[in-house]
Each structure stands twice: as structure tokens, then as C-alpha cells.
Chain A
Amino acid sequence: MASVDSVLPEAFPTQPIQYLSRTRAWYSALGYEPYRWPHHDQVPFAPLAKPLAESRLGLVTTAAPLQADTGDQGPGAAYNGSAKFFDVYTSPTDDPADVRISHIGYDRIHSKADDANTWLPLTRLNEAVEAGRLGSLTARFYGAPTVRRVRSTTETHAPEIIQALRDDGADVALLVPT
């Protein structure tokens, strides 16, 4: 049965959703072992080396390039496992791939996913560059697969993204999970 903290406490509606306990209760009720989220005791910190107006930003996303023939990936599409990807991809920031989030468990009840700016803020970032707030964007943005295998993420995907960020001269990185 639902644990006490798996639902929103009525008395505290402004509290964020407790996703850890809610997803745990949900998948347990479905008969699955709960996913053990990793936890970092030590979190690194690299200070900003130069002003943002002189910095080049790399954008990392979990959104997936639209794939023909893998079913509905449009606004409001049901969860689409076929649209997942398993390798890091890159796409030019001046001619970006059409990236969607049908492969992700976003909130489909309250969110239509019909405005890509809510998960890939490239247009807003370009405006920040034009306004001089930000130095520049890297020539590419980077797609991180959403596989729940810590080793794939830490030993394969993260190093590939770091290499691409370095190759592209990124000074800072903005990560937008969906």
C-alpha cells in the first residue's frame, strides 16, 4: 500500500513532489525492485574562470532526436520506449535537430510537451548571446542517454560528453534533464 509520504501531504501543498518516495511506492506496487538512486557524499565545485559574457556555454539535454518510423513522438504522445537512444549524440546549435521527450516519463497529465523551449532552451540561450549576457554557445549541443545504469553513464556517456565539451571549447555547461 502507499506509504504515508508517497502522496502530497494536504497540509503542505507548496512542497515540491517527493519523487523519490512516489516513484518507489509506484514501482513497488507494480512489483518492481525500487531503483536505487546514486548519492554523492562529496560534490565537486569548479569556480567560474571568467565572466559569463566571455564564456562559451555547452548545452546538455536528455531529449531525443525525432526518429521517423518509431511511433508518435509529438505533443502529448504516450511514453514511447522506441524513441529512446543509447549513445551520446551531438547536434549543431545553429541548425539543431528536432528533439522530443516522448521517451521520458515527464508529467503527461499536466503538460502537453508542445513547446520545445521548455526542455531545450537554445532560442533563449541565443538571445542571451545576442544581448551580450553570455559569450557564445558551443557549435554543438550534446544528448545524454537516460539509461538507468550508473556505469554506462559514468564510464561511457559522461566521458564522451566531457570530451565533446572540451573539443568545442566549452567554459561552462548547462544541463537540462527532462
Chain B
Amino acid sequence: MSLIADAIEKAGIPTVVMGAARDIVEHVGVPRFAFSDVPLGNSAGLPHDVDSQREVLEYALRLFESAFAPRTTVQTPARWNDGDHSWKHDFMNLEQSSEEKRAKAKAEFERQKDLANLKR
């Protein structure tokens, strides 16, 4: 998606990326980035929380108005579990996995890749 932001911006249309993977988006490099420190899948605001979703959108909209240079990141106020950061331990954490778990993950990854390729 960061590549697409780059292309759209080059075409003269200002972009904002609303995302949750800060290091990835900033590594690729985008003009404007509204970052929420929440689990992947929730970059437009907290689930079942209209106020949070409105707030995150407002941050994104204000970025259009206020950024003066590319690679501008703002962090939205969205907080997962009221600021308990323990959720960050679990995503693809090798130290919490076993060989058996990884073998299973690999088999499933291959299976899903084959399924996806069937549709290409």
C-alpha cells in the first residue's frame, strides 16, 4: 500500500496512509502517515468505538492540511486495552513458539499459498 501511496502522490494527488505497522510504512516511505499503535487490522480506529474511529479519521484529515514535507508521521491517540501493551508480545514471536508450532505454521502457510495461487 505504501508503494501505491507513492505512485498516487507522484500523480499529484495528496495521500494519507492510515496504518498500524509503523516501521514497515516508514521504511518504505510515504508522504503522510497516520499511525495507530494497535494490532494490525485496526488502523481506522478501535472496534465498536465510534469516538475512536472519528478521532483517528480526524487525525488523518488534519494531516492533509498540516503536513509540509513527505515522511510526516503523526501518532493517533488510539490505545489498545487502555494502554496495556502486553498484546505486542504475541505477534509472530519466535520466543513464544516451539518447533512443533512452527512446523504447523509452515504447513499451513504452504497450504494457503497454494490455495491463493489457484486463483491467480
Contacts and interface: CB of A to CB of B under 8 A. Distances in A.
Interface of A: 1-2, 6-8, 13-14, 16-20, 22-23, 25-26, 29-31, 37-41, 43-49, 52, 55, 58, 60, 62, 78-82, 84-86, 101, 103-107, 109-115, 117-121, 124-125, 127-128, 133-134, 144, 146, 150, 153-154, 157-159, 161-162, 165-166, 170-178
The SS class assigned to the B binding surface is helix
A118 B75 CA distance: 16
Given A106-B39, A106-B41, A60 B1 contact: yes
Contacts of A1: 94
Nearest to B37: A16
Given A45-B70, A161-B8, A177-B1, A118 B88 contact: no
A19 B24 contact: yes
B39 A111 contact: yes
Given A62-B1, A111-B41, A23 B92 contact: yes
Given A117-B53, A124-B57, A173-B8, 16 more contacts: A19-B91, A22-B92, A22-B93, A37-B27, A39-B28, A46-B31, A78-B108, A82-B118, A86-B119, A115-B47, A144-B4, A154-B3, A157-B4, A158-B3, A172-B16, A174-B60
